[in-house]
Structure 1
Amino acid sequence: MSKGRAARLAPVITMAERAEREAAVQLGRCQGLLSQAQVKLGELEHFRGDYQQQWISEGQRGVSGQWLMNYQRFLTQLETAIGQQRQTVDWHRNNLDKVRELWQQRYARLEGLRKLVQRYREEARLAEDKREQKLLDELAQRLNSGDSD
């Protein structure tokens, strides 16, 4: 009977495996997107550092008012882009946390189902062992009672 219970769970296990795999793929995608966003943020921050270094170099030689206005305008745009990219990184990080949680739930469900099936199989094996032992005991008893006749 327990073996039948384990077999009846096979489609449920298959569906749980598929759901867990899909969540794992989505988790990988989200990790990749977060990584890309972090790289882009790093590039923007590095560019800002280079641009500020250019200000130091140019400033030592003297700059025109127009150059200074252009520098400040571009630096403001760059700071805005960096701020937006930080928000993008935060969004991807939060999304990754949600997707990771979903994957963990699906993985835990799959493992729970696998343990249940294993328990059912073990129960079936024990029941089969008991049945065989009972048959052997009955056979031995018949043989012993036949010897005494």
Structure 2
Amino acid sequence: MPARRAARLAPVIEMAERAEQDAARALGQAQQQLGQAQGQLANLQRYLQDYQQQWLTQGRQGVSGQWLVNYQNFLGQLESAINQQQRTVTWYQENLEKLRERWRQCHARLQGLSKLVERYQREARMAMDKREQKLLDEFSQRLAGRPRQD
């Protein structure tokens, strides 16, 4: 009976394995997306630093009013892009945590099911060992009850 219970759980185990694999795949993709978003943010921040350095260099030589207006407009756009990219990075981080938790749940479910199947298999082996021992005992008793033929 325990062996049949373990066999009946096979499709459930397969579904749990697929769910864990899907969760792991989604987690990997989310990690990759987060890395890309962080890379883009770092690029924008570097570009801002370079642009500010250009301001310092150009400012020492003197700038026109139009150059200053253009600089400030571009700087505002760049800072806006950095803020948007930071929000994007935050979203990817939150999404990554959700997907990580989903994977943990799938993994824990799979482990729990695997342990249950192992227990059923162990119980089935113990029941089979008991039946074999009982048969051996009965066989030994029959042999002991027979008269010897020398």
Give the shorter-chain TM-score range: over 0.9
Match of 1:46 in 2: 46
Map of 1:1-149 to 2, 5 A cutoff?
1-147=1-147
Q: Look up the equivalent residue of 2:6 and give its one-letter code.
A: A
Note the C-alpha offset of 1:147: 3.8
Aligned-pair identity in percent equals 60
- The count of aligned residue pairs is 149
**In structure 1, C-alpha distance between the alignment counterparts of 2:70 and 2:125, rounded to whole Å:** 81
Note the C-alpha offset of 1:34: 0.6
Higher mean Cα deviation, 139-148 or 116-125? 139-148
**In structure 2, C-alpha distance between the alignment counterparts of 1:135 and 1:82, rounded to whole Å:** 78
Q: Look up the equivalent residue of 1:85 and give its one-letter code.
A: Q
TM-score (norm 1): 0.97
Listed one character per residue, the Cα deviations across residues 2-26 of structure 1 (whole Å, up to 9, x for unaligned) are: 1111000001111111111111111
Q: Secondary structure at the match of 2:146?
A: helix
**In structure 2, C-alpha distance between the alignment counterparts of 1:86 and 1:147, rounded to whole Å:** 92
Q: Which runs of 4+ in 1 moved over 3 A?
A: none
Tell me how large the CA RMSD over aligned residues is: 1.2
Gaps of 5+ in 2: none
TM-score (norm 2): 0.96
Note the C-alpha offset of 1:148: 7.1
